């Protein structure tokens, strides 16, 4: 169960004199079946609503962890799993759906990965996939095990109870990359700032039209180094 706090609500401070001891939460082994539905929404560089990024550690290596209620399972970047030799079971086959609806093939599963956060250590199975700018994702596979929690998105704070002690996880604002309007950009521009403004649009053409245009368009300009690089 989630309690989402509004901006007007104040977050409760944890007693600074409380003894800080590391807590460990161990999840059950993950069993994958053919009809299981696996979703991973966060595949872009931009941070989406309802997510939180913070730093964590796996085998003493600092990583970026995304807490995402839109992800059905826990995920880990395949390259990181190989680099840290986490025992990737590549014979475990699965597919998953990303944010744009596309289906992707998983790389395997890592069993009993020990992920350390600031106040808690999580031991769980992680599905190995190709991630973007994060190294690991904690999804509903973990969130469902911690019971009632309070989340204050403006301050990127999540709190819940574990074995009689309140655990507070706080996101790192420096890891956030979000969309902003042109008006917001103009307010932050300085006199010497430089940049590019790009506008993307979709245009549907048939394969025959592409071939015809490509064939007719190749002339003397095709010998220009930059154009030759783009053509090939």
Distance separating alpha carbons of residues 127 and 142, to the nearest angstrom: 13
Higher pLDDT, 16 or 29: 29
Which of 30-34, 83-87, 95-99 is predicted most confidently? 83-87
Q: How confident is the model at residue 24 (pLDDT cuts 50, 70, 90)?
A: confident
Lowest-pLDDT range, 43-52, 103-112, 222-231? Answer: 222-231
- Reduce the DSSP state of residue 151 to 3 states and report it: strand
pLDDT digits (tens, 9 = 90+) for 154-196: 889 999 999 889 999 999 988 877 666 677 777 777 777 777 7
- Indicate the class that CATH gives domain 2-175: mainly beta
Residue ranges per domain, the chain? 2-175
Average model confidence (pLDDT) for the chain? Answer: 76
Task: Give the pLDDT confidence of 62-73 residue by residue, as tens digits.
Answer: 999 999 888 889
Question: The whole model's pTM is what?
Answer: 0.65
96: β partners:
104
Split at pLDDT 50, 70, 90, the class of 220 is low
**Contact yes or no for 86/76 (Cβ under 8 A):** yes
- Assigned token pair, 55: 């730093």
Which range is most confident: 46-50, 100-104, 152-156, 158-162? 158-162
144 alpha-carbon distance from chain centroid: 18
Q: Both tokens of residue 33?
A: 């079946």
* Residue 108 in tokens: 């395997």
Q: 71: number of CA atoms within 13 Å, CB side? A: 27
What tokens does 202 get?
Answer: 């979709």
CA distance 65 to 140: 14
- Mean pLDDT for 86-114 is 84
Contact 119, 167 (CB under 8 A): yes
């Amino acid at each position: 169960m989630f309690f989402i706090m509004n901006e007007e609500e104040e977050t409760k401070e944890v007693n600074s004199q409380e003894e800080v001891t590391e807590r460990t939460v161990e999840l059950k082994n993950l069993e994958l079946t053919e009809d299981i539905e696996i979703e991973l929404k966060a595949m872009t560089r931009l941070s989406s609503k309802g997510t939180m990024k913070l730093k964590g550690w796996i085998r003493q290596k600092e990583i970026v962890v995304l807490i995402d209620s839109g992800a059905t399972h826990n995920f880990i970047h395949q390259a990181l799993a190989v680099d840290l030799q986490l025992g990737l079971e590549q014979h475990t086959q699965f597919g998953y759906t990303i944010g744009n609806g596309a289906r992707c093939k998983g790389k395997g599963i890592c069993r009993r990965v020990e992920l350390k956060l600031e106040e808690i250590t999580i031991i769980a199975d992680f599905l190995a996939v190709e991630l973007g700018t994060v190294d690991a994702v904690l999804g509903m596979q973990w969130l469902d095990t911690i019971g009632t929690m309070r989340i204050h998105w403006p301050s990127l704070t999540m709190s819940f109870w574990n074995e009689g002690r309140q655990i507070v996880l706080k996101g790192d604002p420096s890891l956030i990359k979000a969309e902003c309007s042109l008006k917001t950009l103009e307010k932050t521009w300085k006199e010497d700032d430089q940049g590019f403004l790009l506008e993307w649009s979709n245009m549907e053409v048939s394969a025959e039209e592409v071939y015809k245009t490509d064939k007719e368009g190749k002339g003397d300009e095709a010998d220009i180094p930059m154009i030759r690089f783009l053509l090939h």
